A and B are shown apart, each in its own frame.
Chain A
């Protein structure tokens, strides 16, 4: 019995947590209080269910208990509680709960990525609100101290409550910009998880999986937004290649050298489906372009030849859309495949006018590789040295050292 109650609770926590938090937060405007109330309800369930048996509708049970705790908390917290406000809150939540409560997860995501919230805390806030990760887990994933992360999260939640950041889906006119913030926060989670290529750190590995979970949730909630599909496709393409990014000894394997039999075919198929769903809308965007570039690589490498002119065209569009120096560096790499290393180097000269690239490892690694291919070994060696100095991942560092060592004297 105990086991069963525990398993039921775990399933509810996993599947319904976000929905319950969202509903409680929308009602009260207080994310921290909503989360606390729900944790208390989970604790009550853990002590009650093994004795009394699992309730017929566990979600409704938890919601009723959490709602009661939340209203008590709001009552305690306000110095002079306005009874009108409380009655309103009670009434609204009661009515919703009886009609099968509405799904407010989208409103929750938009509140977490609100422009009035510090951009660095948006992704952590989502991970906590939607997935229930604690501050220490999130801190480990983002490589900051748990105390600092806890403080950022607390500060953001106080702002949501006291400045009254609304939990609502933005109107049509402001939706694109606001959606961008949500997409960027989810992508930031994924990028953090991706940085741990070997999957050695279980928390960071989980972060990539959780980002994909949120990406799936987003397309479920707003299937009409092509960029949401584009983001999901991009993350799935990258994730599908994870098993091939390191060899058996843990050494870095570049994309061109990867054994594509190790790629996850099912995930690639899902990514392709998401991408074609996105392009059906006929509205191009950054994530769709990046996913299309991934698709061209994945498809080409499986067939034995990448269509580099298509890849360059996609990068052209991405550069035009974002003006990102990172996109320009990648474009130079693709251009070199199409027209030779000198064309790539020439394109890189333009990127260099942006001073930020001086501290960006991929710029120097790409430059080194193109210089080597153009036969300028001494300059290539210098560029590799800088790239090695900028890299923090030991496996990538060893790979760059290996390439540098292979340059002819």
Chain B
């Protein structure tokens, strides 16, 4: 069964880090990805550019509007995701708990609608 782990955190945090800290943070995500791959649980992952690049579309009164900015304005922003394939929710939770994102933000676990 596939699960999507979505990573939320304060996106301004990254720029406040020293280059050394950024390097460490990057390395942590690389190791995590490697661990997922070697366990055969990895399906895909991506890091998103900041919400300053976000554009939102919605339809009001039958007219689709294009708006600058992210869908939800909140303290934490969606910053990336991992798509994993594991047997059940316990396994997904256990992988989510090891994700470096938990250390500086929030990780949401969602089951993929299987066909």
Contacts beyond the supplied A162-B111, A162-B113, A164-B89: 20 A-B pairs with Cβ under 8 Å: A79-B115, A80-B115, A114-B89, A115-B93, A116-B89, A116-B93, A163-B89, A163-B109, A163-B110, A163-B111, A164-B87, A164-B88, A164-B111, A165-B88, A165-B89, A165-B90, A166-B88, A166-B89, A166-B90, A168-B90
Q: B1: CB under 8 A from chain A?
A: yes
Contact-size category for B: 10 to 19
Q: Which residues of B contact A80 (CB under 8 A)?
A: 115
Task: Report the minimum CB–CB distance from B98 to chain A (whole Å).
Answer: 14
Task: Report the minimum CB–CB distance from A170 to chain B (whole Å).
Answer: 8
CA distance A168 to B91 in the complex (A): 12
Q: Which residues of A contact B110 (CB under 8 A)?
A: 163
Task: Report the minimum CB–CB distance from A314 to chain B (whole Å).
Answer: 36
Interface set, chain A 339-382, CB cutoff 8 A to B: none
Q: Is the CB of A164 within 8 A of B115?
A: no
Q: Which residues of A contact B88 (CB under 8 A)?
A: 164-166
Query: What does the 1/0 interface line of B102-115 toward A look like (CB < 8 Å)?
Result: 00000001110101
CA distance A114 to B1 in the complex (A): 18
Q: Which residues of A contact B115 (CB under 8 A)?
A: 79-80
Query: What does the 1/0 interface line of A78-119 toward B look like (CB < 8 Å)?
Result: 011000000000000000000000000000000000111000
Query: What does the 1/0 interface line of A115-139 toward B look like (CB < 8 Å)?
Result: 1100000000000000000000000
Query: Count of chain A residues with Cβ under 8 Å from any Cβ of B?
Result: 11
CA distance A168 to B89 in the complex (A): 12
Q: Which residues of A contact B (CB under 8 A)?
A: 79-80, 114-116, 162-166, 168
Task: Report the minimum CB–CB distance from B66 to chain A (whole Å).
Answer: 33
Q: Which residues of B contact A162 (CB under 8 A)?
A: 111, 113
CA distance A116 to B96 in the complex (A): 13
CA distance A79 to B113 in the complex (A): 11
Query: What does the 1/0 interface line of B23-63 toward A look like (CB < 8 Å)?
Result: 00000000000000000000000000000000000000000
Q: Is the CB of A164 within 8 A of B93?
A: no
Q: Which residues of A contact B93 (CB under 8 A)?
A: 115-116
Q: Which residues of A contact B89 (CB under 8 A)?
A: 114, 116, 163-166
Q: Which residues of B contact A166 (CB under 8 A)?
A: 87-90
Task: Report the minimum CB–CB distance from B63 to chain A (whole Å).
Answer: 33
Task: Report the minimum CB–CB distance from B114 to chain A (whole Å).
Answer: 9
Task: Report the minimum CB–CB distance from B108 to chain A (whole Å).
Answer: 12
In the complex, residue of chain A having the shortest beta-carbon distance to the beta carbon of B110? A163
Task: Report the minimum CB–CB distance from A250 to chain B (whole Å).
Answer: 48
CA distance A164 to B114 in the complex (A): 11
Query: What does the 1/0 interface line of B51-91 toward A look like (CB < 8 Å)?
Result: 00000000000000000000000000000000000011110
- The 7 A-B residue pairs with the shortest CB-CB distance in the complex, in nearest-first order: A166-B88, A163-B111, A164-B88, A165-B89, A163-B89, A164-B1, A166-B90
Q: Which residues of B contact A163 (CB under 8 A)?
A: 89, 109-111
Task: Report the minimum CB–CB distance from B93 to chain A (whole Å).
Answer: 7
Q: Which residues of A contact B1 (CB under 8 A)?
A: 164
Q: Which residues of A contact B87 (CB under 8 A)?
A: 164, 166
Q: Which residues of B contact A116 (CB under 8 A)?
A: 89, 93
23 contacts between A and B (CB under 8 A): A80-B115, A114-B89, A115-B93, A116-B89, A116-B93, A162-B111, A162-B113, A163-B89, A163-B109, A163-B110, A163-B111, A164-B1, A164-B87, A164-B88, A164-B89, A164-B111, A165-B89, A165-B90, A166-B87, A166-B88, A166-B89, A166-B90, A168-B90
In the complex, residue of chain B having the shortest beta-carbon distance to the beta carbon of A80? B115
CA distance A117 to B1 in the complex (A): 19
B87, B93, B110: most-surrounded residue (chain A CB, <10 A): B93
Q: Which residues of A contact B109 (CB under 8 A)?
A: 163
Task: Report the minimum CB–CB distance from A246 to chain B (whole Å).
Answer: 45
Task: Report the minimum CB–CB distance from A171 to chain B (whole Å).
Answer: 10
CA distance A80 to B115 in the complex (A): 6
CA distance A165 to B93 in the complex (A): 10
CA distance A116 to B88 in the complex (A): 12
CA distance A323 to B85 in the complex (A): 40
Task: Report the minimum CB–CB distance from B87 to chain A (whole Å).
Answer: 8
CA distance A116 to B109 in the complex (A): 10
Task: Report the minimum CB–CB distance from B10 to chain A (whole Å).
Answer: 25
Task: Report the minimum CB–CB distance from A378 to chain B (whole Å).
Answer: 49
Task: Report the minimum CB–CB distance from A84 to chain B (whole Å).
Answer: 13
Task: Report the minimum CB–CB distance from A122 to chain B (whole Å).
Answer: 15
Q: Which residues of B contact A115 (CB under 8 A)?
A: 93
CA distance A114 to B90 in the complex (A): 9
In the complex, residue of chain B having the shortest beta-carbon distance to the beta carbon of A85? B114
Task: Report the minimum CB–CB distance from A282 to chain B (whole Å).
Answer: 30
B87, B89, B110: most-surrounded residue (chain A CB, <10 A): B89
In the complex, residue of chain A having the shortest beta-carbon distance to the beta carbon of B93? A116
